[in-house]
């Protein structure tokens, strides 16, 4: 009679229990998400007051990229068109700022950013810290690949 092996493989958890508790804790969640939103809204306010800068635009752009990734993770995916509209406004502001040296945002772009950041706020309220970290990691990975591609292109030229 054939006997079955009783050897069980013990899988190691993906996260330690303490890290899991911190990741899914609302007490930890709120300060992180509020800081993210504060950075975005402070940059948007700077543009509204006519004190925009390339760094502020980069901050807004990064937050939009995280919001886009959260859409791909099924967090308010219906908001993707609004986020893409704000991305388009970013491109226009970038071109204008680089050519004129003045970093301004018109009323249409401001409204598009307000809509996108409203969606981002909703996403952050329902996303776990793990989801947010995953979205930020994807953004960082994408930006790194783009920078490496640009370096390779410049080296080949």
All residues at 6 or more sequence positions from 129 whose CB lies less than 8 Å from its CB, including other chains: 22, 23, 24, 28, 29, 32
Examine residue 144 and state whether it is found in any structural domain, yes or no.
Answer: yes
Examine residue 45 and state whether it is found in any structural domain, yes or no.
Answer: yes
DSSP letter for each residue of 40-62:
HHHHHHHHHTT---HHHHHHHHH
Length of the chain, please?
Answer: 157
| Per-residue confidence (pLDDT) for residue 120, from 0 to 100 | 95
Question: Mean pLDDT across the chain, nearest whole number?
Answer: 84
Tens-digit pLDDT profile for residues 38-91:
999 999 999 999 899 999 999 999 999 999 999 998 888 899 999 999 999 999
Examine residue 1 and state whether it is found in any structural domain, yes or no.
Answer: no
Examine residue 11 and state whether it is found in any structural domain, yes or no.
Answer: no
Examine residue 126 and state whether it is found in any structural domain, yes or no.
Answer: yes
Number of domains in the chain: 1
* Spatial contact of 40 and 114, defined as CB atoms under 8 Å apart: no
Using a 10 angstrom Cβ sphere, with 0-12 exposed, 13-18 middle and 19 or more buried, the burial of residue 120 is buried
Examine residue 12 and state whether it is found in any structural domain, yes or no.
Answer: no
What mean pLDDT is predicted for residues 4-27? Answer: 59
Tens-digit pLDDT profile for residues 105-141:
999 999 999 999 999 999 999 998 889 999 999 999 8
What mean pLDDT is predicted for residues 12-27? Answer: 60
What range defines the domain where residue 139 resides? 29-156
* Spatial contact of 53 and 107, defined as CB atoms under 8 Å apart: no
- Whole-angstrom distance, CA of residue 117 vs CA of residue 63: 8
């Amino acid at each position: 009679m054939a006997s079955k092996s009783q050897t069980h493989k013990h899988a190691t958890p993906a996260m330690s229990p303490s890290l899991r508790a911190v990741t899914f804790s609302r007490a930890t969640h709120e300060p992180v998400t509020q800081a993210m939103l504060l950075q975005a809204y402070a940059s948007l306010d700077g543009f509204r007051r006519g004190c925009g800068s390339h760094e502020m635009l980069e901050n807004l752009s990064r937050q939009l990229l995280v919001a886009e990734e959260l859409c791909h993770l099924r967090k308010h995916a219906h908001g993707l068109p609004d986020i893409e509209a704000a991305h388009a406004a970013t491109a226009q502001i970038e071109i204008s700022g680089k050519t004129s040296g003045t970093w301004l945002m018109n009323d249409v772009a401001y409204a598009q950013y307000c809509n996108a950041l409203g969606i981002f706020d909703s996403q952050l309220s329902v996303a776990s810290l793990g989801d947010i970290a995953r979205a930020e990691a994807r953004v960082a990975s994408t930006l790194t690949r783009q920078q490496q591609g640009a370096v390779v292109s410049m080296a080949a030229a």
